């Protein structure tokens, strides 16, 4: 692995999942990262990604530097050939090259603006870091993807599945804010690479990018989709068609205990943070069915497997 920007950077998904599960069993520091430094830049808030990736790096023996780039760094210019006479003080060309002097791996979180679809899909921030850094770059959630979360989710399903080919349902849920499509995009991608019966359910105005969902079955009736599910992955996302908007939905899409009765006693997943009683009801999050904490714990081992793979290069 040279970088970890999208799921296509994974050479062998099954092997990487096995590696993460093995690292979880060992749960001990290894010397591979000794004398190496991970630099993490956050243009947006984080709890899990920031702390689990730092922990993963430290378990490998690495030093870690973290910067809230949106608050503490110079405003960055990403346009090639820009005349920098406005508020942007530093060009990505210098910023990425300088960071590469201090760090052996650079990791970046940069959410979409959700205003212009083409602009977000160009992945200006993460792609320019990758272009101008001379060290590997890791995606800590970009405009259109969250591959560390998706790897975590595949590890969690692999650990908890009770049948060879479980039914996995990704369901849209309500949220008071318009959220990116990064998590469901990456989840949909990794499920298509996994041995699962995968279904997506969402209101009509919320179909994800068809270039990502491809042949996946999309059901607009949530109750019908949930039938016999072994895993239910709950997530809000804003509309892709009416880009970044939150078209009104009449039905109640919150995942409740009543709705869960149609499933095969499904494990309930969410990447967190989750808005209780909006996205998922208390009775589900507080039940045996919820595996969200197990899932969050796996963030460390997914990150550790990816960092280890990059360090080996």
Residues in touch with ligand CP (CB under 6 A): 46-49, 141, 149, 271-273
Half-sphere exposure of 140 (CA within 13 A, CB side): 29
Q: How far apart (Å, rounded) are the C-alpha atoms in residues 232 and 124?
A: 32
Nearer to ligand CP, 24 or 93 (CB): 24
Residue 217 counted as an annotated binding residue: no
Residue 271 counted as an annotated binding residue: yes
Q: How far apart (Å, rounded) are the C-alpha atoms in residues 159 and 173?
A: 25
Nearer to ligand CP, 46 or 264 (CB): 46
Nearer to ligand CP, 53 or 239 (CB): 53
Tokens of 157: 């399903």
Residue 109 counted as an annotated binding residue: yes
Residues 6+ apart with CB under 8 A from 86: none
Distance of CA 154 to the CA centre of its chain: 11
Question: Shortest approach of ligand CP to residue 220 CB, angstroms?
Answer: 26
Report the residue closest to ligand CP, judged by CB: 49
Question: Shortest approach of ligand CP to residue 84 CB, angstroms?
Answer: 31
Residue 117 counted as an annotated binding residue: no
Nearer to ligand CP, 92 or 302 (CB): 302
Lookup result for tokens 């105005």? 205
Residue 299 counted as an annotated binding residue: yes
Q: How far apart (Å, rounded) are the C-alpha atoms in residues 201 and 152?
A: 21
Question: Shortest approach of ligand CP to residue 42 CB, angstroms?
Answer: 9
Residue 272 counted as an annotated binding residue: yes
Residue 294 counted as an annotated binding residue: no
Question: Shortest approach of ligand CP to residue 227 CB, angstroms?
Answer: 28
Residue 141 counted as an annotated binding residue: yes
Nearer to ligand CP, 49 or 246 (CB): 49
Cβ atoms of 167 and 228 within 8 Å: the answer is: yes
Question: Shortest approach of ligand CP to residue 139 CB, angstroms?
Answer: 11
Strand partners, 234: 171
Q: How far apart (Å, rounded) are the C-alpha atoms in residues 226 and 249?
A: 18
Nearer to ligand CP, 210 or 273 (CB): 273
Residues 6+ apart with CB under 8 A from 64: 37, 38, 39, 40, 54, 57, 58
Question: Shortest approach of ligand CP to residue 94 CB, angstroms?
Answer: 28
Nearer to ligand CP, 180 or 203 (CB): 180
Distance of CA 259 to the CA centre of its chain: 26
DSSP, collapsed to helix, strand or coil, labels residue 43 as: coil
Closest by Cα among 283, 277, 228, 223 to 254: 277
Torsion of CA 312, 188, 198, 243, to 10 degrees: 180
Question: Shortest approach of ligand CP to residue 44 CB, angstroms?
Answer: 8
Residue 47 counted as an annotated binding residue: yes
Q: Which residues contribute to the annotated binding site for carbamoyl phosphate?
A: 46-49, 74, 109, 146-149, 271-272, 299
Q: Which residues contribute to the annotated binding site?
A: 46-49, 74, 109, 141, 146-149, 175, 235, 271-272, 275, 299
Q: Which residues contribute to the annotated binding site for N(2)-succinyl-L-ornithine?
A: 141, 175, 235, 275
């Amino acid at each position: 692995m040279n970088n970890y920007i999208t799921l296509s950077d994974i050479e062998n998904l099954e092997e990487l999942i096995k590696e993460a599960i093995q690292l979880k069993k060992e749960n001990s520091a290894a010397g591979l990262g000794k004398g190496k430094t991970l630099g993490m830049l956050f243009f947006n808030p984080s709890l899990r990604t920031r702390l689990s990736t730092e922990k993963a790096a430290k378990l490998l023996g690495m030093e870690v530097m973290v910067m809230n780039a949106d608050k503490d760094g110079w405003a960055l210019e990403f346009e090639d050939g820009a005349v920098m006479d406005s508020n942007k003080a530093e060009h990505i060309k210098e910023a990425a090259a300088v960071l590469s002097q201090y760090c052996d791996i650079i990791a970046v979180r940069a959410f979409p603006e959700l205003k212009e679809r083409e602009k977000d899909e160009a992945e200006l921030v993460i792609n320019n870091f990758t272009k101008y850094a001379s060290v590997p770059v890791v995606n800590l959630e970009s405009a259109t993807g969250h591959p560390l979360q998706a790897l975590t989710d595949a590890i969690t399903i692999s650990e908890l599945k009770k049948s060879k080919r479980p039914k996995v349902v990704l369901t849209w849920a309500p949220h008071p804010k318009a959220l990116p499509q990064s998590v469901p995009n990456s989840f949909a991608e990794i499920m298509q690479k996994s041995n699962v019966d995968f279904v997506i359910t969402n209101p009509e105005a919320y179909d994800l990018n068809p270039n990502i969902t491809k042949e996946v079955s999309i059901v607009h009736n949530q109750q019908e989709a949930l039938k016999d599910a072994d895993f239910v992955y709950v997530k809000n996302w804003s509309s892709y068609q009416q880009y970044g908007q939150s078209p009104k939905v009449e039905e109640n899409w919150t995942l409740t205990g009543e709705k869960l009765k149609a499933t095969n006693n499904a494990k309930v997943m969410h990447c967190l943070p989750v808005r209780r009683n909006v996205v998922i009801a208390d009775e589900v999050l507080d039940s045996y069915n919820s595996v969200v904490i197990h899932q969050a714990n796996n963030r460390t081992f997914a990150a550790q497997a990816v960092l280890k793979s990059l360090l080996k290069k």
